[in-house]
Chains A and B, each alone.
Chain A
């Protein structure tokens, strides 16, 4: 078994052996399902067909705050508890340790996001019946796929930032306001929208049908998969930053 596989296996043991993993991922599911249910109950037919995606995406996009907190805390707790010293003594290759941690966090988040997204889709379908977004349409599949990629990559992005900042609290206190509050609210202001629309939490909005290119208020200058490509770039940049910071600094 290669050193990377051993290290990733150890990261998986770390994840599943602490209570907070079960607690936060359950909370993620609860918020996504609960808000999906609430919005689905208020859903009225007659608008554009793609509006049927709103009950699914609204719950998931709110619950992403919980998922991101999970990803950040997974990294931050190594520093707050001091286990980072034992981790690096056991896996002295910084690149290997970082890759193993990001793989374990990424796969766990991807699995949780997939299961919850499918569950939310099923719940919304039960509530609004035939008006639900049909799985026979490509735009439904595209939105669900895009939402899953968005949740997964955004979590890896924030986990990498946490590796650079070495703290759950510092990371969340910077990322939550910048990425999730100001850009969703202030992002609609004409003055800053040309910049804010490229922020990592915003670039998935087109594929999830939370906005469309050309919309006068919420419009974007890129298409659905271009948005995902931008998110991939953000994630890649954060991974490089996290890796460089791991490599250079003393434990």
Chain B
């Protein structure tokens, strides 16, 4: 009743708050240095984008000259003049020879494949970046929104540890671990020597801008330091360097997630302002554009019902506007994620934009629940049955014995059961055709790759 009980709690309350804040800070710091978060999410993003780009390159193989070759309609000299103005990175401008072009195209495809399977992920992610930027920047006007996402993610992936699971790297690491010490790693040394030499040579020849030289050199030195420390350094050095890597990874992962949110946010916010999105007819129009109707009968069918079109139109806007906020609520986020992936799958078919849709699905995948990804991984894994199933390196010894067959192991074991029931992967049959084609809206867009 007296002042005492009132006053007493006050000071401790403040102290407790400070302590709590303090603890939270420390905990946060330890978390972002102590581990590379989201190993499965980054892996699935890596696989998704590498696969999308690889499929694209394979599909366009017959058209590669017309797209990016020296004699493409967007001629070498045209590209040269544009790139002189915007300094975009592309090794294709180093030479106008057809042979060089063929080499770069093959290099890009191989890099995509290497990244897909997670072979020397750190190096291959850089190769992938070089491939993507070289081809896309060579002919920017051939690209659309799908290329735009691939472009950005190629940049981001370089700074993530995206090969820690579901990769050949992870397998190699497990083997090394079983064998004891890390091996001499001749392949790594050769790769490092080759890339280092290539970097020095290109820089000396003046082919790289100072900015790119510094960027590649920093990456190279970082990897070299990591290799050296792993082999010769003490435990503290290893920890410190790994923690640095984790910091970069975690920061970049945050950027990737924010980027996906920005994509949906702006796509949604601009739509809100459009009269057609307001009056509920927007979806009808793309279904009647020659460029977006590979299956006119299907488009006619979808666009035939006013109610359906209005529902899809509104649902699209609501989903896009809402998504960035739902990431703070696991369940709603997962529902919207399924909706968006289904929408993109339908777009792939209805609007004829398979690569754009694949890229968007790959981007969405960064928000997939770990439990679902583990479940997915377990399904893929069931057949091979190698002794050390695809858990992150290191766990095999302690993981539950059931790891190989059943749900993936350990503490996570019970989770997969409750995950989003079906694999919402790619069925395209839902007639939800969200109109988000691979490209900026036509009349207005100064952006969308064009003004590079």
Q: Verify that A and B bind, or say they do not.
A: no
